[in-house]
Amino acid sequence: MKKTFILLSPVLLVLANAWYVNAWNLNFRAGFFLQFGIIALWLALFGWLCKPVQSAAPPLKLSRAGWLGLALVMVIAVTARVTQLEVYPPADVSVVEETQTGELSHDSIHKHLLDPDFPIINLLGEAGLRLNGGTMLGLRWPFVIWSCLAVPVFFLAALRFCRHEGAALLVTLLLATNTYVIASGRTAMETYAPVTTVALSLAALLYARDRRSLFAFGLAGVCNGLLLIEYLSFRLTGGLIFIWMLLLLAQGLSAEAPWTCAVRPRLHALWAARRLALAYAVLMCVVALPCWIALANTGWLNLAEGVERNFVNDVLARSAAKPIGVQVAEMAGRVWEQGMTLWVKDAVPGVITDRRGIFDWGTSALCLAAIVFALVRARANPSRWFPVLAILATIALAGVMTPVVARYRVYCVVPCCLLLMAGLIQAMLEWKPVRFAPAIKVAVAGFVLVLAGWNLWSFFSSTVYDQELRDQHYEFCVLVAVEIQKQQALPQTAPLYLISPGLTEKSRGEAYFLYDRSRVRFVGSADEITGPARVVACNASGVELEQRADFKILYRRDDKPKREDTYVVAERD
């Protein structure tokens, strides 16, 4: 009873925190940080009061070769993510919705706010703007570092999943060198960054399985709770990982249990470990609870809002006039296409060319073989093939519940795919025929090294310099904002004006976080300007400015991909 009260008390404290924030009209930011103070306090209490059970697995120890291999993989991962960072993505380009991240981060700094939809992404962007200034490259730097952290964290997850250094290192190398992972890790986007959180949640869960203590399961619950405040598809992954935790406890398997171990999940085993499951569930909910409370004021929790917006208002509304058979056929077609975005190609532009999926052809073949291997070899061990269920469930729900097929909707299952590959590679490296064992090990390692090299070559030889890909991400508002930033960096002897009726308000696409708005005067036409001035004029206003004799045109810039928008820079003494 005493331990149960200790487990449930964080919920009461977080509810009290939410009441305190609302009662005293404090913003969500204050409550969010206070919430994590409560979590840290209770984790420390768990660590002090609770000890691992005697059936806990022995601690994992890396060999000297393992440490050397991990260091080499980290060097490759960091080099791949920071090399030519100023070239791709370009500084005057917003990849998909990066400007939205920048605007939220800018408001966090100047208004002391925090977005309850994606607080982690908000804080990463805020760190970039605070430490590196208001530039697109500065905004992206924390996301690059966050992407690099995914590599060692995933290695820990893979090592605890297969308990084989070689297999864990090889699949971690595939993660470190994957073209799509490298490209997405360079962008400040809520649809890409949480893959690190998935790796963290998996590593914490497998650590908890081995340690079997309240502290370990509470820590794993906190890590999984972070997924519940990420992008919509990653929240689904958090729910699936929670089910995996229950399955692991219901089977009661040790970490050294072989793949072929046939142990059915049993309710009495789950009941015996109920405090571990409760610690996980309570701390998971404690992380997400303040965000849910903050979002409940809008009428829908974010998860439900996403379901309503994508599935109810879009998919079902479009299909209302169609026969049930046609609707089912269309959904099945989208599910198939969604699966192909993981292994073959994409349907919409993204961070890399749409002519390939998240994985290249070789890695896709290895992934499919790993899925078949897990279902056949470990069919009596559900905790081993559960990642397969996570992959298939994510693909199916993404295809059924959303009208647009895209790679980023299934990006969340990449760590699950790689864990399955680790299991297959482990089996190949431990194959019994001793006569062929050295040749098999060399062949497997060589195949993975070829895939890693191919992905690196694909990124640096084509993706970085793909003009078609760059053109897809050009946004005129970013071009104008970067130009204003350049003008503000020059010694100014006259006020700086922006003539653009469409950019005078803080619209979503304005990219106003890139410059100091207090030093810019917004006007609707050149007639409103008096005295000496430096002017940035957009579109028709720029054409009008070029026809005036009292302004000297310094240069003109076209939005090259679309050739629709232009701006001119002029001055008047």
CA proximity to 462, closest of 352, 548, 544: 352
Which helix or strand (DSSP H or E) is residue 176 part of?
A: helix 165-177
* pLDDT of 431: 78
Identify whether 116 is part of a domain: yes
Q: How far is CA 28 from the centre of its chain?
A: 22
* pLDDT of 301: 45
Identify whether 57 is part of a domain: no
Residues 451, 544, single domain; the answer is no
List per-residue pLDDT tens for the chain, 573 residues long: 555 656 666 666 666 555 555 545 557 787 788 778 878 888 887 777 666 555 556 667 888 999 999 999 999 999 999 999 988 888 888 887 888 888 888 888 888 888 888 899 999 999 999 988 888 899 999 999 999 999 999 999 999 998 889 999 999 999 999 999 999 999 999 889 999 999 999 999 999 988 888 888 989 999 999 999 888 888 889 999 999 999 888 887 665 566 566 677 788 888 888 888 988 998 898 888 778 777 765 544 444 545 545 555 555 555 556 677 777 787 788 888 888 888 888 777 678 887 888 999 999 999 999 999 998 887 778 888 889 999 999 999 888 777 778 888 899 999 999 999 999 999 888 877 666 778 888 899 999 999 999 999 999 988 888 887 877 777 788 888 888 888 888 887 788 888 876 554 444 446 888 888 888 888 888 888 888 888 888 888 888 888 888 888 888 877 555 556 788 888 887
Identify whether 169 is part of a domain: yes
Identify whether 58 is part of a domain: no
DSSP state of 538: E
Domain containing 28: what range?
A: 1-51
Residues 428, 357, single domain; the answer is yes
CA proximity to 415, closest of 396, 379, 449, 390: 390
Identify whether 320 is part of a domain: yes
Q: How far is CA 337 from the centre of its chain?
A: 22
Amino acid type, 515: Y
Residues 110, 218, single domain; the answer is yes
* pLDDT of 484: 86
Tell me how crowded residue 434 is: count the other CB atoms within 10 A of its CB: 7
Q: Which of 28, 51, 74 marks a domain boundary?
A: 51
Query: In this structure, is the dihedral angle defined by the CA atoms of residues 322, 325, 330 and 331, taken in order, positive or negative?
Result: positive
Residues 371, 506, single domain; the answer is no
Residues 165, 307, single domain; the answer is yes
Residue 209 CB contacts under 8 Å (≥ 6 apart), including other chains: 57, 160, 248, 255
The span from the CA of 144 to the CA of 142, in Å, is 5
Residues 145, 261, single domain; the answer is yes
The span from the CA of 159 to the CA of 62, in Å, is 10
Identify whether 470 is part of a domain: no
The pTM assigned to this predicted structure is 0.90
The tokens 């609770």 sit on which residue? 50
Residues 400, 261, single domain; the answer is yes
Tell me how crowded residue 430 is: count the other CB atoms within 10 A of its CB: 14
Q: Which of 438, 462, 486 marks a domain boundary?
A: 462
The span from the CA of 212 to the CA of 352, in Å, is 41
Q: Tell me how many domains the chain contains.
A: 3
Residues 71, 40, single domain; the answer is no
- 32, two tokens: 């969010």
Identify whether 468 is part of a domain: no
Residues 224, 354, single domain; the answer is yes
Residues 36, 75, single domain; the answer is no
Identify whether 467 is part of a domain: no
* pLDDT of 196: 96
The span from the CA of 129 to the CA of 545, in Å, is 34
Residues 454, 497, single domain; the answer is no
Residues 116, 26, single domain; the answer is no
Q: Which of 462, 493, 509 marks a domain boundary?
A: 462
The span from the CA of 175 to the CA of 144, in Å, is 14
Pairing outcome for strands 533-538 and 496-499: parallel
The span from the CA of 341 to the CA of 300, in Å, is 30
The span from the CA of 17 to the CA of 38, in Å, is 9
DSSP calls for 191-234: TTTTHHHHHHHHHHHHHHHHH--HHHHHHHHHHHHHHTTS-HHH
